[in-house]
Structure 1
Amino acid sequence: MDETLRAQQLTFARHLRDPHANPPPPGIEQWRLQVYRELFYNTVEGLLAGSFPVMRETLGEARWHARVRGFYANYRSHTPLFTEVAETFIDYLQGIEADTPWQLELAHYEWIEAQLYLSDARDAPHNPEGDLLDEVPLLSCVARVLAYRWPVEQIGPDYQPDEPPQVPTLLLVYRDAAFKVRFARLTPMAYQLLMGLAGTGRERLQALGDAELQLQGLALLERLRRQGVIVGTCTAA
């Protein structure tokens, strides 16, 4: 590429990213520059607003746009895919000092929701009617078991906590048969059963402790299979 053209393109790109810190290349009318500045920024902002609607509403216009402009000006994304921009925004948030302590976890929670809604993943080979005790329960590929310090499913314009609760927020987030993403709070026992233990259903239940907990755990597995969150079983390795 001609070095003069390359230099002009880099100058133009820097200006579009951060017009206050970088002058435009010479010879371009201001109205044309304004069109490009608004077009590029609004495209990025629109993608992020669609992925993080709760964060956008909770932060308010000024703080939201300041956060997006910081990302737009300073983060160097290498993905060419619009569907991956939200993930790069989370990576950006991990590297800055956020102005709210729950911001990163809320963004991750919203990103998970969007990923499950858009996912075209397929479940691993399994037996839908398999034995939940003697085989390995298989979680749906559009279900996630999550743990957060902050109550991310409650945060919004009317609830912005300053301190995390004493107990973590344990969630099951999943996409149902109607393609609606839902969430449910998990007890520590349910979280351990679904996420913290390996092996067959029987081995997981035995690790929970007494007989009463095992009965509760088995009832949970059966209910989740009826809901489609557990899609069936596979054979233990």
Structure 2
Amino acid sequence: MTITYNTPDRPAFIRKQYAFAAYIRDPENHPRPDDVEARRMKIYRELFYNNVESYLADTYPVLRKIMPDSHWHAIIRTYFSRHLSQTPLFPEMPREFLKYLEQTRAPHPDDPVFMLELAHYEWAELALSILDKEVDESTINSEDNLLESRMIISPLAWLLSYRFPVHKISPEFQPKEADENLTHLVVYRDRDDHVRFIEANPVTARLIQLIIAEDEKTGRELLEQIAAELKHPQSEVVVSHGLDILNNLRNRHIIFSIGT
């Protein structure tokens, strides 16, 4: 990150603020302001870093647990010193950290192979918990026959697909290579504002994808499309089992009926 606090076109107090912040973020590469004693700067330096590290550790608890202290702190210190955030909002810091991991930071040999996917999954839990969206109850009908109705997905539900089973990763389980098949997870916020997830099989995941993309089709039409994609010899079997899936998703408030 380029620090421009010493450009002569800036007012003196702005240059002083940049110098103060630059030293706090990266004391190895920026001088301590000469009018602030070292003891006080050490307090500021530790206070800022510890606040950032603690918040990120709380947001990414599994990632923190599986990483040795030295590797975790090396990542956080580099993020703290080099990443230029695009928002001043504290709750957005975990998203900024994820952007840093995905877009800026060079991979390290000690990184777990699943690190980016695990980080995304853990971020999604926080993001949904604070997402400022609501379901428009006036447009839905909980009594409709889902086979004969059109549906929408809740704005508080996300279908996420990963190469690794990120929801199972722990200090005791750390896969070394990706699975042959994707892991599909539906992460959603329930009516009590608790974030939950369900593991979805490929049919359920495909059904949700179609609900998102084909909101003019009824549940029966969507399930018949899936049966055709599967080349299933008895489409009514797919429709029958699919109705159970739809009812389960509606009971969890992941999807809603909006009539015909």
TM-score scaled by length of structure 1: 0.91
Aligned counterpart, 1:66: 74
CA shift digits 1:97-149 (9 cap, x unpaired): 33222111111101111122233420133223233123222222222111011
Which residue of structure 1 aligns with residue 134 of structure 2?
122
Quote the Cα distance in structure 2 between the aligned partners of 1:166 and 1:117. 31
Identity of aligned residues (%): 37
Identify the residue that residue 204 of structure 1 maps to in structure 2: 222
Tell me how far 1:93 sits from its aligned partner: 0.5
Choose 72-81 or 192-201, whichever is displaced more. Answer: 192-201
Runs of 4+ with deviation above 6 angstroms: none
Distance 1:135 1:142 in 2: 21
Structure 1 match to 2:257: 233
State the partner residue of 1:108: 120
Q: SS at the partner of 1:153? A: helix
Amino acid at match of 2:36: I
Deviations 1:47-78 (A, max 9, x none): 21221111111113222111111111111002
Q: How does 1:58-207 map to 2 (within 5 A)?
A: 58-95=66-103, 96-98=105-107, 99-124=111-136, 125-196=139-210, 198=214, 199-207=217-225
3-state secondary structure, aligned to 1:171: strand
- Measure the CA separation in 2 of the matches of 1:106 and 1:76: 23
Q: Within 2, Cα distance between the matches of 1:82 and 1:30?
A: 27
Matched residue type, 2:117: E
How far off is 1:235 after superposition?
A: 4.9
Please give the per-residue CA displacement for 1:28-59, whole angstroms capped at 9, x wherever unaligned: 11110011101111121122122111111111
Residue 238 of structure 2: aligned partner:
213
Aligned-partner Cα distance in 2 for 1:20–1:221: 57
Q: Is the 8 A contact 1:145 1:173 kept in 2?
A: yes
Report deviation, 1:196: 4.0
Unpaired segments ≥5 residues, structure 1: none
- 1:223 paired with 2:235, answer no
- After superposition, the C-alpha distances for 1:168-222 in whole angstroms (9 at most, x for unaligned) are 1111112233433222211111100012452321221111112212211111101
Q: Distance in 2 between matches of 1:177 and 1:186?
A: 20
